[in-house]
């Protein structure tokens, strides 16, 4: 499965639990970073379940936002990059 994941994590000044590093490290275990808080790439279903379970545990649902798009096929997709492509050639 192909995944695009992005998050907006509130800073430590807004909450007691500073979970930004734990969330970033959890995502980086499975997906390459494209932008500061944007990740995309192929992931096995079992790894996706592990990742989402970790994110459910670490996310402060009152202040944080994690959005995940999943694709079974990239057949009808197109990726346009203006400027540097920090994720290389994903579609070649």
Q: What is the mean pLDDT of residues 68-86?
A: 85
Please give the residue range of the domain that contains residue 30. Answer: 2-71
- Name the strand (E) or helix (H) holding 65: strand 65-71
Mean pLDDT, the chain, rounded, equals 86
CA 35/CA 88 separation, integer angstroms: 12
Residue 12 domain-assigned (yes or no): yes
Q: Residue 79: which pLDDT band, with cuts at 50, 70 and 90?
A: confident
CATH assignment at residue 41 = 3.30.70.240
Please state the residue numbers annotated as binding site for Mg(2+). 8
Length reported for the chain: 92
* 42 alpha-carbon distance from chain centroid: 11
* Domain-located, residue 51: yes
Tens digits of residue pLDDT in 6-48: 998 876 666 566 778 889 999 999 999 988 899 999 999 999 9
Domain count for the chain: 1
The verdict on residue 60 lying in a domain is yes
Is residue 90 assigned to a domain? no
Show binding-site residues.
8
pTM above 0.75, yes or no: yes
């Amino acid at each position: 499965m192909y995944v695009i994941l992005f998050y907006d994590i509130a800073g430590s000044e807004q909450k007691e639990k500073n979970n930004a590093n734990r969330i970033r490290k959890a995502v980086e275990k499975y997906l390459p970073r494209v932008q500061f808080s944007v990740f995309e790439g192929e992931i096995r279903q079992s790894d996706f379940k592990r990742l989402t379970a970790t994110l459910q545990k670490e996310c402060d649902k009152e202040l944080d936002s994690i959005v995940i798009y999943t694709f079974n096929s990239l057949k009808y997709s197109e990726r346009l990059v203006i400027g540097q492509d920090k994720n290389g050639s994903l579609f070649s």
